[in-house]
Amino acid sequence: RDGRWSRRGLAGILLETLKILSLEALVAYGRDISQPLHRA
């Protein structure tokens, strides 16, 4: 029981961190694209 729960918990934590990382990457990517547009 404990092993199964901890495994599910780890999977949830990994999914959450991946979501946050992907969101941050998208924000940084959007900034890189918008910077040249603002200059021009």
State the average pLDDT for the chain: 85
Could you tell me the pTM of the whole model? 0.58
* CA-based radius of gyration for the chain: 18
Instruction: Parse the chain into domains and list their residue ranges.
Output: 1-40
Look at 37 and 15; give whichever has higher pLDDT: 15
User: What are the φ/ψ torsions at residue 27 (nearest 5 degrees)?
Assistant: -65, -45
Summarised one tens digit per residue, pLDDT across range 19-30 is: 999 999 999 999
The span from the CA of 16 to the CA of 8, in Å, is 12
Which tokens go with 10?
């780890």
Alpha helices in the chain (DSSP H): 2-39
pLDDT band at 17 (very low <50, low <70, confident <90, very high): very high
